[in-house]
């Protein structure tokens, strides 16, 4: 199986360990991820400023993947939602496709509406499948308790995601954690948003949103948070110390990207998964394995 990997803006600069571990694990599982360096921003940050521009930014990315005959596999949940939305709109709305093609033509590009978009973790869940993942596990992580953060755009708006998981009672990430042998931790605020989208508008509110979940996961006794979106990582990882110091708390709660958790369970060395490059270094966690 071969897909174009869409890195987006944040992953290739701020979350290299996510990219590294996803590619490492994918290779092991027979999923070939092809880089397309010419990709631009998915369009999500521009959608609230100028709808047409956001759609055209997304369409150019879809066109680049179609030129190579590949579907898109995303690592960022916001990229997933905009690229999925636009790919579905263009596949079902001929007038919009015509108008978009006219604009793409000015860039010397074309698009016929064929590309499908899915999050990396959804590809693991649906295409590789839990059974195959279970077989790939060589070192069960039964010493870990891991709390999954679903975030928003991985699941919602649900009408663009073919019902692969339930937006109100999600389970895919918990099942993916359980497959590694780790205990999937349930907690009250599991479905809540990280607040990342309004960090630049109202930092206090955004950080308070992230804090509520950090508090909850901490008291649920988890060893780490399972993340599948680079911007959620900015909130829970890069901003963790800031959130804590604002309230006299020291969290020290490692954030792990799902392919890192899976990779560890598959017996891959933590260095090849970039674990010590994560915003919160998971020293205690790694000590538990060795």
Shortest Cβ 277–another protein spacing (Å): 9
> How many Å from the N-terminal Cα to the C-terminal Cα in the chain?
33
Picking from 127, 121, 153, 163, the residue whose alpha carbon sits closest to that of residue 257 is: 121
* 76 touches another protein (CB under 8 A): no
* Binders of another protein in range 145-184 (CB under 8 A): 152-153, 156-158, 167-168
Shortest Cβ 288–another protein spacing (Å): 25
Residue from 1, 2, 52, 132 in contact with another protein (CB under 8 A): 52
Helix axes 94-106, 77-92, angle to 10 degrees: 110
Sheet with 224-227: list strands edge to edge: 183-185, 145-148, 224-227, 255-257
Please identify, among the stretches 45-53, 65-73, 134-142, 171-179, the one whose residues bind another protein according to the rule CB under 8 A.
45-53
Shortest Cβ 153–another protein spacing (Å): 7
Torsions phi, psi for 55 (to 5 deg): -65, -40
Q: Which residues of 250-275 are buried (b: 16+ CB within 10 A; e: fewer)?
A: ebebbbbbbbbbbbbbbebebeebbb
Residue from 19, 66, 165, 223 in contact with another protein (CB under 8 A): 19
Residue from 32, 94, 142, 202 in contact with another protein (CB under 8 A): 202
* 276 touches another protein (CB under 8 A): no
Shortest Cβ 274–another protein spacing (Å): 7
**Binding-site string for another protein from residue 213 to residue 252, where x marks contact by CB under 8 A and - marks none:** ----------------------------------------
Residue from 83, 115, 193, 261 in contact with another protein (CB under 8 A): 193
Contact 182, 144 (CB under 8 A): yes
Element (H, E) at 49: none
For another protein, the closer of residues 107 and 284 by Cβ is 107
* Binders of another protein in range 101-120 (CB under 8 A): 103, 106-107
Shortest Cβ 168–another protein spacing (Å): 7
Handedness of CA 189, 192, 195, 198 (dihedral sign): negative
What is the Cα–Cα distance from 67 to 71, expressed in whole angstroms? 10
Q: How many other CB atoms are found less than 10 A from the CB of residue 237? A: 23
Q: How many residues bind another protein (CB under 8 A)?
A: 54
In this structure, the dihedral spanned by the alpha carbons of residues 138, 257, 33 and 170, taken in order and rounded to 10 degrees, is 90
CA distances from 249 to 21, 195, 210, 236 (A): 30, 19, 14, 14
Shortest Cβ 46–another protein spacing (Å): 6
Handedness of CA 151, 158, 76, 184 (dihedral sign): positive
* 279 touches another protein (CB under 8 A): no
For another protein, the closer of residues 141 and 259 by Cβ is 259
Q: For binding to another protein (CB under 8 A), which residues are involved?
A: 7-10, 12-14, 16, 19-20, 23, 35, 37-38, 40-41, 45-53, 56-57, 60, 103, 106-107, 152-153, 156-158, 167-168, 191-193, 195-198, 200-202, 205-206, 208-209, 212, 274
């Amino acid at each position: 199986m071969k897909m174009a990997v869409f890195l987006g803006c944040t992953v290739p600069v701020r979350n290299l360990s996510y990219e590294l571990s996803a590619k490492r694990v994918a290779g092991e599982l027979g999923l070939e991820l092809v880089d397309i360096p010419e990709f631009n921003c998915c369009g999500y940050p521009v959608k609230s400023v100028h709808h047409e521009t956001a759609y055209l930014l997304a369409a150019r990315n879809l066109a680049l993947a179609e030129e190579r005959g590949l579907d898109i596999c995303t690592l960022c949940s916001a990229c997933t939602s905009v690229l999925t939305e636009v790919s579905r709109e263009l596949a079902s709305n001929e007038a919009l496709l015509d108008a978009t093609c006219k604009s793409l033509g000015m860039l010397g590009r074309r698009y016929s509406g064929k590309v499908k978009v899915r999050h990396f973790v959804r590809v693991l869940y649906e295409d590789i499948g839990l059974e195959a993942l279970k077989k790939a596990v060589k070192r069960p992580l039964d010493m870990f308790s891991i709390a999954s953060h679903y975030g928003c755009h991985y699941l919602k708006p649900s009408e663009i995601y073919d019902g692969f998981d339930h937006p109100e009672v999600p389970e895919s990430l918990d099942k993916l954690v359980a497959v590694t042998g780790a205990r999937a931790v349930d907690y009250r605020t599991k479905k809540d948003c990280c607040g990342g989208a309004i960090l630049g508008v109202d930092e206090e509110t955004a950080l308070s949103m992230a804090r509520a979940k950090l508090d909850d996961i901490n008291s649920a006794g988890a060893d780490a948070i399972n993340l599948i979106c680079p911007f959620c990582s900015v909130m829970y990882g890069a901003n963790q110390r800031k959130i804590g110091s604002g309230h006299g708390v020291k969290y020290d709660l490692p954030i792990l990207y799902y392919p890192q958790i899976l990779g560890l369970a598959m017996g891959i060395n933590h260095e090849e998964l970039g674990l010590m490059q994560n915003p919160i270094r998971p020293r205690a966690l790694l000590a538990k394995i060795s």
